[in-house]
Amino acid sequence: MNQGKAFLAVAAYALATCFAAPAAAQGTVKVGEINSYKRFPAFLEPYKKGWELGVDEVNASGGVLGKKLEIVSRDDGGSQGDAVRLAEELMSREKVAFISGTFLSNIGLAVSDFAKQKKVLFIAAEPLTDKIVWDNGNRYTFRLRPSVYMQTAMLIDAAVKLNKKRWAVVYPNYEYGQSAVAAFKKLLKEKQPNVEFVSEQAPALGKIDAGAVSQALADAKPDAIFSALFGADLAKFAREGNLRGLFKDRAVFNLLAGEPEYLDPLKGETPVGWYVTGYPWADINTPEHKKFIDAYQKKYNDYPRLGSVVGFSLVQTIAAVIKKAGSLDTEKLVAAMSGLQVETPFGPITYRAIDHQSTMGAYVGQIGVKDGKGVMTSFSYAPGDKYLPSDAEVRKMRPAQ
């Protein structure tokens, strides 16, 4: 009998030890993150640093649900198919609570559809297409950054004041660029009905022939230009346009061109006077931004880019929604995201219940050159909630849930 009891005791101990390791391994809350790191390093390397800083701060404050927060990240290579496959893998193999991230608009839409089909929360950090919260919006998808509609609306008043009649547009020919131009045309025509669009250039993303595009725009003799180019395409266009005199005595509006990710490579070749949205990091003196920038520079000995703010704010959102839900149950998380309030380096934001768009804003101004570097000038912060369509308009655009 004693031997039998001893055997049972040893067996029970072995069994307990066997399950103790997985229990310890489960001492973290995992959240999946998917992005095009290798394809767009200028934005996404700072973005990753931002969310890593965010994770450090969340865990230093006690984590989430009494556990450490862990971001399980994957690179989609700029492929919609790979992004969806990775989302499935993160859910099935890594057992993440939900999915976040993405950069390209078409990839964001693909992951959003995955979230809808699989009934899993997806917090889209960066994709800017309006469709992700309106035309293709769904119960499980929420978006952090201000959309192309919002950022375009922030520039429209300045465009209208210039009263230019003949406009040309140039944009990368995929979802983001198409959405940006559609929003610009709609908003400008509403306030200036007599406007004409005399040229439209839509090179493939990452494959712009900047000389040919610049010449085609110059030949159309527009009074002003609206551009949605970014990254390497933007740099090539700016340099070639400067060389050919395309921008001389001609107003140019460009979404995103005031972001340091895209200004830094241009340096002294930065076009002067363009109207842009961006991030003048060195000149923002609000308490919440100062706290963020001090922590970022202490950790990385570098200055933040806009991607850094987006990555950090994503983790603040993740921590806030888990705390509010008090659970990792998908339906509780989705319910908690509606109306969720989050503190960010740009100040407090809210995820609107009606369309799941956050009220994060953007800095708006012009660009110029200072000490051989591209900078934003005469800028101001445009709160996102002032540049969103009304509830009635949203109801017309967004599918019934």
Q: Quick one: three-class SS letters along 109-157?
A: HHHHHHHHHHCCCEEECCCCCHHHCCCCCCCCEEECCCCHHHHHHHHHH
Mean of the per-residue pLDDT values for the chain? Answer: 93
CB neighbour class for 8 (10 Å; exposed up to 12, middle 13-18, buried from 19): exposed
Token reading at 222: 């527009």
pLDDT of residue 399: 86
CATH number of 149-279+363-387: 3.40.50.2300
Q: How far apart are CA 70 and CA 28, in angstroms?
A: 6
Among 71, 79, 76, which Cα is nearest to 98's?
A: 71
Is residue 6 very low, low, confident or very high in pLDDT (cuts 50, 70, 90)? very low
Asked whether the predicted pLDDT for residue 15 surpasses 80, the reply is no
For 113, other C-beta atoms within 10 Å of its C-beta total 17
Residues 274-328 have pLDDT tens digits of 999 999 999 999 999 999 999 999 999 999 999 999 999 999 999 999 999 999 9
CATH topology of domain 24-146+285-360: Rossmann fold (3.40.50)
Is residue 13 very low, low, confident or very high in pLDDT (cuts 50, 70, 90)? very low
Q: 91 near 349, Cβ under 8 Å?
A: no
pLDDT of residue 349: 98
CA distances from 18 to 6, 22, 93, 345 (A): 18, 8, 20, 44
The mean pLDDT value for 261-275 works out to: 94
Token reading at 242: 């400067």
Token reading at 243: 């060389």
Residues 238-258 have pLDDT tens digits of 999 999 999 999 999 999 999
Q: How far apart are CA 281 and CA 157, in angstroms?
A: 24
H-helix or E-strand spanning residue 349: strand 347-350
H-helix or E-strand spanning residue 183: helix 175-191
The mean pLDDT value for 339-357 works out to: 98
* Three-state DSSP state, 357: strand
pLDDT of residue 18: 39
Contacts of 341 (CB under 8 A, 6+ apart): 320, 348, 349, 350
Residues 77-113 have pLDDT tens digits of 999 999 999 999 999 999 999 999 999 999 999 999 9
Beta 362-370 vs 341-344: how paired, if at all? unpaired
Place of tokens 């040919």: 212
Residues 185-236 have pLDDT tens digits of 999 999 999 999 999 999 999 999 999 999 999 999 999 999 999 999 999 9
pLDDT of residue 26: 63
Q: How far apart are CA 138 and CA 297, in angstroms?
A: 38
Is it true that 24-146+285-360 and 149-279+363-387 share their CATH fold?
yes
* Domain chopping of the chain, boundaries: 24-146+285-360, 149-279+363-387
Asked whether the predicted pLDDT for residue 122 surpasses 60, the reply is yes
pLDDT of residue 20: 35
Beta 196-201 vs 373-382: how paired, if at all? unpaired
Q: 134 near 148, Cβ under 8 Å?
A: no
Asked whether the predicted pLDDT for residue 146 surpasses 90, the reply is yes
Is residue 400 very low, low, confident or very high in pLDDT (cuts 50, 70, 90)? confident
The mean pLDDT value for 48-71 works out to: 98
For 214-252, letters b (16+ CB in 10 Å) and e give beebbebebbbbbbbbbbbbbbbbbbbbbeeebbeebbb
Q: 70 near 29, Cβ under 8 Å?
A: yes
pLDDT of residue 14: 41
CB neighbour class for 368 (10 Å; exposed up to 12, middle 13-18, buried from 19): middle
Q: 246 near 331, Cβ under 8 Å?
A: no
